[in-house]
């Protein structure tokens, strides 16, 4: 837990980063407020490497969202009006990481550092995997249902493409590698480095597939919102990481 000047620096940095995201139109004003509040909780409880990984996720997601934005707008598959993300999207992607930070950073925390770092990175790996798959997949010429294999228009809930799946892997693996580098640079404890990268990469990608299945089965029928589907996909990635921790004998 940060205290003193480090806490003040963390709070100021988080607020400035949120303001920057709003100024760059990556987030709506209210989404910026929400991200700042949750970001402050994260940086105060578990420190700078967690905030840095979150910021990198937001930045990379924004760049992916803005990629060929005019083409996405013509196809009506863009995020928001011009690529900005709203409150529901931010909440869906930040609730679980914040809960992990709280569980790992409060006094007498129920989560030890190796578990906290793995679960936090796994949650963001899903977010990166899902965002990259969506933002690059909608530009693919063809997509198929993840369940039936039938051809569907790119951008359809449950529709996957080779391009989208490739970038889903890229997002997940990149988060794993960068997350490990950040945690090691700041002296944050993790599980075995190879196990960390493999686990975060795989569960993030699997969570993205879960999101697609839920999108086809429930979101297309109006039974789940996009935010709910994202939340459950991220929850599945974190749940798989918990199973890995149990399998390798790392206590929470």
In the chain, where are the structural domains located? 4-247
Q: How many whole angstroms separate alpha carbon 89 and alpha carbon 167?
A: 20
**Residue keyed to tokens 């003193």:** 4
pLDDT of residue 127: 95
Q: How many whole angstroms separate alpha carbon 168 and alpha carbon 234?
A: 14
> Can you point out the beta strands (E) in the chain?
143-145, 151-152, 159-160
3-class DSSP state for residue 252? coil
Residue 220 CB: number of other CB atoms within 10 A?
Answer: 15
Contact partners, residue 72, CB within 8 Å, separation at least 6:
78, 83, 138, 139
Contact 34, 94 (CB under 8 A): yes
pLDDT of residue 124: 97
Q: What is the mean pLDDT of each run of 10 residues along the chain (252 residues)?
A: 86 92 89 94 95 92 84 75 81 95 87 93 97 89 91 90 95 97 95 96 97 96 93 97 91 75
pLDDT of residue 109: 76
pLDDT of residue 80: 65
């Amino acid at each position: 837990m940060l205290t003193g000047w480090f806490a003040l620096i963390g709070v100021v940095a988080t607020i400035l980063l949120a303001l920057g995201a709003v100024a760059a139109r990556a987030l709506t004003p209210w989404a910026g407020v929400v991200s700042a509040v949750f970001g402050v909780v994260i940086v105060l409880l578990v420190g700078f490497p967690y905030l840095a990984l979150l910021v990198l996720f937001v930045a990379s997601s924004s760049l992916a969202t803005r990629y060929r934005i005019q083409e996405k707008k013509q196809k009506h598959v863009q995020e928001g009006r011009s690529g900005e993300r709203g409150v529901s999207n931010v909440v869906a992607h930040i609730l679980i990481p914040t809960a992990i930070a709280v569980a790992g950073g409060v006094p007498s925390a129920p989560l030890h550092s190796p578990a906290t770092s793995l679960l936090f990175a796994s949650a963001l790996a899903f977010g990166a995997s899902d965002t990259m798959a969506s933002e690059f997949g909608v530009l693919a010429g063809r997509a198929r249902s993840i369940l039936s294999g039938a051809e569907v228009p790119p951008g359809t809930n449950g529709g996957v493409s080779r391009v989208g799946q490739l970038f889903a892997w890229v997002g997940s693996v990149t988060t794993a590698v960068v997350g490990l580098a950040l945690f090691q640079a700041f002296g944050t404890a993790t599980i075995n480095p190879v196990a960390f990268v493999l686990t975060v990469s795989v569960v993030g990608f699997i969570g993205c597939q879960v999101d697609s299945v839920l999108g086809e089965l429930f979101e297309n029928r109006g039974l789940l919102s996009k935010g709910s589907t994202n939340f459950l996909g991220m929850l599945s990635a974190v749940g798989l990481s918990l199973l890995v921790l149990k399998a390798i004998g790392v206590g929470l």
